[in-house]
Amino acid sequence: MRAPAESATSATAFGSLADLLRHRAAVQPDERAYVALSDRGGEEASLTFGELARQAGGLAARIAARAAPGERALLLCPNGIGFMVGFFGCILAGVIAVPMMLPRRRGARDASASILADCTPRLALAPRALIDGERGDLVGRFEADGLEWLAVDDPALPSGPEPGVPRRREGDGLAFLQYTSGSTSAPKGVMVSHANLLANLAMIEGAFGNTRHSTYVSWVPLYHDMGLIINALQTLYVGALCVLLAPVAFIQRPLVWLRAISDYRAAVAGGPNFAFDLCVERYRPEQMGEIDLSCWQVAFNGAEPVRADTIGRFTDTFAGHGFSAAAMYPAYGMAEATVLVSAGMRGAGPAMRTLSRDGLRRHIAAAPRADSDAQMVVGCGRALAGERIAIVDPDSFARCAAGLVGEVWVAGPNVAGGYWRNPEASAAIFSARIAGEDGQHWLRTGDLGFVDEAGELFVTGRIKEIVIIRGANHYPQDIEHTVQSCHEALRRHGGAAFTTGDASDAERLVVVQEVERTYRKRIAPDELIGHIREAIVGAHEIVPYEIALLRPGALPKTTSGKIQRALARQLWLEGSLERL
């Protein structure tokens, strides 16, 4: 436990992120806030807290001259210094930032068009090179009446305070729109206020045990809530250094991330579950050199189901390089709750329980009847300070009894105000009430889970993605894990299980699965499909209706790496998935 004197923020009350930035610029003006690394891990740029405030202030003046407070500005920047300058330029100008992924050059499935239509932005902020044609298609992809482009890195930007912009904003005012990942539906703009952000940043500080010495290394995209809030804004909140790496650099060379953790003696670094699997898959002892991971104290794992075997493989692989099993830190969050909902205790390691697979199918958390019925589940921590979690029957809205799986509901100051210009969805998701209880409004997460006797939250799946066969519930991620474990040719995190949903017949299971690139010409497809079918029947007692092998990269995923099962099903029905 840290001493109270080490807390960088406990003695300071902020009314907005603008106040937070000004505070950091005043008390730590010459300390580095952000460092951007190249794809090979070398330093490309850095920015102190004071420089961030000055550059953001200069950009804010230009933004304020072109957009009124409350108008929206797209933020189309790679991971790096420019993104943070652009984000805080919007904050200081009172304009609502809309972080977005740069659309793929020939991508047909990105959400940019629907986001553009939904938020109707006045401005688009991007690096000068992108605006001037480094990506020749970029400006054309965002054609809209009245949309004006501004460079976040223009050398002509004035440097100084934000002229004409109010010095303080109400905490309930919107800071930015965080568009949901679209894993089960069209993206919706979550309205995140300054008050939501500051509340959740305080929760993260307390849960992670962060101080101004808690250096982060992050590759997670800044347009994603985990990358922006848990990483880049949390370090600003506590006054620590954040080292930024491009997501593509991590995907191509995950050991660059581990090397940066070692070089900068980072205490905190994390990502979705697949990131830890990828590090193991690309592990080469001869490439690790003098990498020392003993500094890594919080290896947070969230944004998708956390698997016990992933934790085991990662810990076993990197223990020889100083990584401690106690550093593994499963957590749970979502954009509608700003980002973090539950987390464990620093240094305690993950909580795991062995449950009945058959019981989970019936939404009961019970001990297994036999070894063949056993399934390991990983806890995602407990409710954060000032927050409440409830497990509720999604149909009756009654609170579930102990030992039952239900929908996870959340209440607290970190829960956002709703979806942008979508009052019906906002009322349904953000204003739920538990039957027979007081008028407290709750956030319906859409996730299934249970809380054990110690208060640990275990998330088991998503309501919309449950596979129902002959009246029995099956979690798609469990079927996908069975498939990917049955043969080394099958890519991890590269499959989707869903039902046809054909009303004219009983629901039938479909599995689509990517094959590793190195195995494409070495496998007998029919034989491999037979392996998959046998594994599914043996583990889940389901005979698949269809199994389709896909080319690498064919499976649709969100920007954070979540499998888009609903879109995969739609593409399967259309016959447009790229099969092997």
Which of 72-76, 137-141, 288-292 has the least mean pLDDT? 137-141
Strands of the sheet containing 490-499, edge to edge, are: 490-499, 509-515, 546-550
Backbone angles phi, psi at 225, to 5 degrees: -60, -35
User: 14-102+113-269: what CATH class?
Assistant: alpha beta
* Mean per-residue pLDDT, 235-259: 94
Residue among 94, 101, 133, 95 at smallest CA distance from 116: 101
Give the span between the Cα atoms of 392 and 390, in whole angstroms. Answer: 6
Which of 237-246, 289-298, 444-453, 541-550 has the least mean pLDDT? 541-550
Q: What pLDDT shows up at residue 163?
A: 44
* Mean per-residue pLDDT, 532-549: 85
Q: What are the respective helix, strand and coil percentages of the chain, to the nearest 5? A: 35, 25, 40
Instruction: Tell me the pLDDT band of 463, cut-offs 50, 70 and 90.
Output: confident
Are 457 and 389 in contact, with CB atoms under 8 Å apart? yes
Q: What's 118's DSSP letter?
A: H
* Longest Cα separation, the chain: 70
String of DSSP letters for 3-51: -GGG-SSTT---SSHHHHHHHHHHHSTTSEEEEEE-TTS-EEEEEEHHH
Residue among 463, 467, 451 at smallest CA distance from 353: 451
Q: What pLDDT shows up at residue 137?
A: 64
**66: amino acid identity, one letter:** R
Instruction: Tell me the pLDDT band of 478, cut-offs 50, 70 and 90.
Output: confident
User: What share of the chain has pLDDT > 90, as a percent?
Assistant: 56
Give the span between the Cα atoms of 168 and 165, in whole angstroms. Answer: 9
- What are the structural domain ranges in the chain? 14-102+113-269, 348-464, 466-574
Q: For residue range 277-298, list pLDDT tens digits in order.
A: 899 989 998 888 889 999 999 9
Average pLDDT, the chain: 87
* Mean per-residue pLDDT, 459-478: 78
In the CATH scheme, what is the code of domain 348-464?
Answer: 2.30.38.10
Q: For residue range 479-508, list pLDDT tens digits in order.
A: 888 898 889 889 888 888 888 865 555 578
Instruction: Tell me the three-class secondary structure of 424-441, residue by residue.
Output: HHHHHHHCECCCCCCCCC
Token pair listed for 132: 């001037």
As a dihedral over the C-alpha atoms of residue 50, residue 53, residue 58, residue 60, rounded to 10 degrees, the angle is 180
Query: Which residue carries 């300390």 as its tokens?
Result: 31
Backbone angles phi, psi at 484, to 5 degrees: -75, -15
Query: Which residue carries 């800044």 as its tokens?
Result: 222
Q: What pLDDT shows up at residue 185?
A: 57
Strands of the sheet containing 189-193, edge to edge, are: 148-151, 123-126, 72-75, 96-99, 174-179, 189-193
- Whether 348-464 shares its CATH topology with 466-574 is answered no
CATH 3.60.110.10 holds for 466-574: no
Give the span between the Cα atoms of 400 and 341, in whole angstroms. Answer: 19
